[in-house]
């Protein structure tokens, strides 16, 4: 830290910062912005590696030709990390508040060594049974948990007016780890063998852990009682946004991880195109911060609604490509689908802090400065808790999409039935977004947050 940062945001032993008020413009310009940016950079690095290990099986599965596994079994290997990672997101949400954001980033980064090493062990023996592969794939779920702790932590570092862009960058930096895996791993495996898909990440994990230890900070203002944070699960808004986040982030992680195996199983004559599957995760990752920025200007609910509408059209086009055997149509529509899911990731995440701030201040008089300040702090706390919970529930969408594809292919030989189910789900998301956040009719009977500019 510089001398200015020490005076403005003095850390205690162990890099704990006691004075943190990013919503104060003077504080933010003098020191807050620099400290927040530094923490964001190393948060992105650790989260990027978390996503990489979480989704590495999306590529490993298409390289397991020496093992006699069915397509449905392979989809289970892709699905299981999504399931475990989703479940871990809830405890990971509370970890920064309990242990400190910096401290937990170090620990969560080091935990990535487990799936990386076990993956290398599993594929080193042609006699490794399927159940062992399932257990080892499950350990990759720790990478999925990283997202919740990282996002909950970074929320505290940025003022509300900057959260859409900051959270979008943080999430995109993590999301792009899927693209890194799908771009690099085929080359690494081709050059060094399948075990390298795990060993490759070991030095990078150590760099991320050391960087977090040396350059990140803990915030005393981020301290919270887990029991108090769990109260957020009793809020209707938490469950509504969880449902919508299944449709955005769940779609992103599900479609991205399913892409290589879907190409292999549905277009075996185009398996060379698996090399380009990384484009799905790439466009979805890059579009996320722009979804957040667009929402900062137009409102998250409006962007979310139109994104779901576009996703419904894109999934229909991809289904037509599957049904007709038109690979180019399928491939382009699928890329559009994942890109739109990325936009929706940014817009739904931008909605969360706005919703909980609006709920915190809805009964206060505009001139009650002290009450508004206290309510803003409550809204920030509730938002941080909700973000982790919503991200946990939303991530289950990745499991549902992969299992949907696996089940559909096992039952019908194709993925068309799964695509139809996904399209119906997006119609439900459109209706829910409009009813809760954009509807201006019938508000006396059933209130909405349309007036809050969510």
What's 378-399 look like in SS3?
Answer: HHHHHHHHHHHHHHHHHHHHHH
Residue 6: predicted pLDDT: 41
CB count in 10 Å sphere of residue 3: 8
Report the alpha-carbon distance of residue 92 to residue 226 in Å, rounded: 11
Reported as a single tens digit per residue, the pLDDT across 346-377 is 899 889 888 888 887 776 666 666 666 777 77
Q: According to the model, what pLDDT value does residue 386 have? A: 82
In whole angstroms, what is the distance from residue 209 CA to residue 199 CA? 16
Query: In this structure, how many other beta carbons lie within 10 angstroms of the beta carbon of residue 127?
Result: 6
The DSSP code for 205 is H
Burial class (CB in 10 A: 0-12, 13-18, 19+), 274: buried
- CA–CA distance, 55 with 403 (Å, rounded to integer): 15
Write down the pLDDT at residue 54: 95
DSSP letter for 238, please: H
Reported as a single tens digit per residue, the pLDDT across 263-297 is 999 999 999 999 999 999 999 988 988 888 898 88
Confidence of residue 388 (pLDDT cuts 50, 70, 90): confident
Instruction: Report pLDDT digits (tens) over 174-190.
Output: 888 999 999 999 999 99
Q: Whole-angstrom Cα distance, residue 124 to residue 56?
A: 16
Inter-residue contact 394 to 250 (CB < 8 Å): yes
C-beta separation of 61 from 82 below 8 A: no
Q: Write a three-state SS string for 303-350.
A: HHHHHHHHHHHHHHHHHHHHHHCCHHHHHHHHHHHHHHHHHHHHHHHH
According to the 3-state scheme, what is the secondary structure of 69-111? Answer: CCHHHHHHHHHHHHHHHHHHHHHHHHHHHHHCHHHHHHHHHHH
DSSP strands (E only) in 209-271: 218-219
């Amino acid at each position: 830290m510089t001398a200015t940062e020490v005076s403005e945001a003095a850390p205690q032993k162990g890099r704990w910062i006691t004075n943190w008020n990013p919503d104060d413009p003077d504080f933010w310009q003098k020191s807050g912005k620099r400290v927040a940016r530094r923490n964001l950079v190393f948060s992105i690095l650790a989260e990027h590696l978390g996503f990489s290990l979480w989704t590495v099986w999306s590529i490993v599965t298409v390289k397991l030709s020496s093992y006699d596994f069915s397509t449905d079994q392979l989809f289970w290997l892709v699905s299981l990390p999504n399931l475990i990672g989703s479940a871990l997101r809830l405890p990971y949400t509370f970890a920064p508040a309990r242990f400190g954001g910096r401290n937990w980033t170090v620990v969560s980064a080091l935990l990535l060594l487990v799936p990386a090493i076990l993956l290398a062990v599993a594929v080193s023996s042609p006699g490794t049974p399927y159940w062992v592969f399932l257990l080892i794939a499950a350990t990759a779920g720790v990478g999925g948990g990283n997202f919740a702790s990282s996002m909950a932590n970074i929320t505290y570092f940025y003022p509300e007016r900057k959260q859409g862009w900051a959270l979008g960058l943080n999430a995109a930096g993590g999301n792009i780890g899927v693209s890194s895996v799908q771009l690099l791993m085929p080359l690494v495996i081709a050059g060094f063998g399948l075990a390298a898909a795990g060993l490759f990440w070991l030095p990078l994990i150590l760099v991320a852990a050391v960087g977090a230890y040396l350059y990140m900070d803990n915030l005393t203002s981020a301290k919270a009682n887990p029991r108090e944070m769990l109260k957020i699960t009793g809020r209707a808004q938490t469950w509504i946004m969880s449902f919508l986040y299944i449709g955005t982030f769940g779609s992103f992680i599900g479609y991205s991880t399913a892409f290589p195996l879907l190409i292999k199983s549905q277009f075996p004559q185009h398996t060379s195109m698996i090399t380009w599957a990384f484009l799905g995760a790439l466009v979805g990752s890059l579009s996320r911060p722009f979804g957040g920025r667009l929402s900062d200007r137009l409102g998250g609910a409006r962007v979310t609604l139109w994104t779901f509408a576009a996703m419904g059209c894109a999934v229909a086009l991809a289904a037509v490509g599957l049904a007709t055997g038109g690979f180019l149509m399928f491939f382009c529509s699928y890329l559009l689908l994942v890109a739109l899911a990325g936009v929706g990731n940014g817009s739904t995440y931008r909605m969360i802090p706005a919703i909980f701030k609006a709920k915190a201040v809805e009964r206060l008089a505009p001139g009650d400065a002290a009450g508004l300040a206290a309510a803003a702090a409550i809204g920030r706390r509730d938002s941080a808790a909700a973000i982790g919970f919503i991200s946990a529930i939303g991530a289950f969408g990745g499991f549902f999409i992969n299992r949907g594809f696996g089940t559909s292919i096992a039952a019908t030989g194709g993925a068309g039935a799964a695509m139809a189910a996904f399209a119906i789900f997006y119609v439900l998301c459109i209706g829910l977004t409009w009813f809760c956040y954009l509807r201006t009719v019938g508000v006396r009977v059933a209130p909405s947050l349309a007036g809050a500019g969510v």
